[in-house]
Amino acid sequence: MTPPFTPLTAQPAWVHFEKIFLWNGGLKVTHALVCALLGFFFAGTGMAPIIHNGVAATADVVSSLRP
C-alpha cells in the first residue's frame, strides 16, 4: 500500500525517518522503542559525553568524504 503524498516541509523530521525505516520493513517498532529507551538511559549516565564525542567525530569524517 502506497502512502499518500505529503510535502516534506509539512511534517517534522522524525515522521520522515518513520516512513523510511518502518514502512520499508527495515526497522521494527519494538526495535525502535528499545533504541529510544536506551538513548534516554545513556543520556542520563556518564557515558553521554563519550557517545556525543564519538557521534560528532563520525559525522565529521562522513561529512568530509567526497563522492
Q: What is the SS3 string spanning 16-67? A: HHHHHHCCCCCCCHHHHHHHHHHHHHHHCCCCHHHHHHHHHHHHHHHHHCCC
Say what the pLDDT of residue 40 is. 86
Say what the pLDDT of residue 36 is. 85
The pTM assigned to this predicted structure is 0.49
Say what the pLDDT of residue 21 is. 67
pLDDT tens string, the chain, 67 residues long: the values are 455 555 555 556 556 666 666 666 677 778 888 888 888 888 888 988 998 899 899 999 999 988 7
